[in-house]
Amino acid sequence: MVKLKDVCIGLSLAVVAAIVSYLIISYNIASVAPEANRPLANMFLENVFNSEKWWLWAGSPEAVTSILWDYRGIDTVYETAVFFLAIIASIALVRTLKLTPETSGRGFGLTVIAKTVTNIVFASIPIVAYSIAVHGHLTPGGGFQGGSAFAVAPLLAISVFSLRVIVMRGWSKDRLLALRTTGLLLIGLIAIIVVALSALKGIIAYVMQNQPKPWAPAGLSAIVDFINPTLISGTLFWLNISEFLAVGAGLSLVFVLLVSPTKMLDVEVEEK
């Protein structure tokens, strides 16, 4: 039985969607896939790895990571702060929950077949995630993507081996929290390291500065001599690894807390 109210709501939603999309296209608010790039996109793409214009380059062939950590670096730091707040609020909601092997359920996991397959896959997930993060300034990917990929590993392990085994293996709340805090502290450190080093020399520099500018000739060099000349794009490499630590450990932590047995949460609510 279709109610008149539902029909009215559906029709009005469809009409509003049609009107808005007509306005978007006819008034050119959003483009209908134009042939030419926007000037801003062309600026980024042409200068991101252009060593001839060293005052505009980011020292990395990857435009996305360069914009993320160099051109719009401060923006990303604040977005990491939002991420930090969301995770810390989640932990604060269940702060009395103690994750020990005795309290984390009595599960023994799935069958031997599932466990054997997961053992093989489980080893490869952190490696792939770390590779995504380390090659963040060379290929598509970076700290955010690598960290999100890493967070799949505890989810898979929890669903196959059960939470108790994971907690016994040492995925404790404190350890993951420490890893995440280390990542965030490293981001803060790298953000001000160029300022600190150039202040010793008596020249000005910006927070989150990557490559030198004519008016602020400070910065980490894009190519360092490590055995061979190696491209690490200044701060981008280190920021990607720090963000990988922060996002991977933070998401793993909230996933481990999210699947903890509801009985423990019952006790906690009564205590409150």
Partner 1 sequence: MINQLLWGYYYAVLMLILFMSIYGIAVRPNLLKKIIMLSILSDTANILAVMIGLHVGRTIPPVYPGITFTVETLPNSTSLKEFAKQAVDPLPQVLVVTAIVIGLAVLVFLSFTAILLYRKYGTLDTRDIINRIRGETQ
Out of 101, 110, 131, 148, the residue judged to bind partner 1 by CB under 8 A: 148
3-state class of 106 per DSSP?
coil
By rule CB under 8 A, what string of x and - marks binding of each residue 1-40 to partner 1? --------x---xx-xxx-xxx-xx----xxxxxxxxx-x
Please identify, using beta-carbon distances, which residue of 19 and 189 lies nearer to partner 1.
Answer: 19
Tokens of 77: 């730091």
Instruction: Tell me if 167 contacts partner 1 by CB under 8 A.
Output: no
Give the shortest CB-219-to-partner 1 separation in angstroms: 17
Residue from 7, 8, 11, 42 binding partner 1 (CB under 8 A): 42
Q: What is the CA radius of gyration of the chain?
A: 24
**Distance in angstroms (rounded) separating the CA atoms of residues 119 and 133:** 22
In this structure, what token pair is assigned to residue 142? 């970076």
Site residues for partner 1, 225-244, by CB under 8 A, read 228-232
Give the dihedral of Cα atoms 142, 147, 153, 154; nearest 10 deg: 180
- The window from 86-94, 98-106, 108-116, 212-220 that contacts partner 1 (CB under 8 A) reads 86-94
Q: Which is nearer to partner 1, 65 or 198 (CB)?
A: 65
Give the one residue of 100, 127, 221, 266 binding partner 1; rule: CB under 8 A.
266
DSSP characters for 84-104?
Answer: HHHHHHHHHHTTT----TTTS
The neighbour count for residue 199, using CB atoms within 10 Å, is: 13
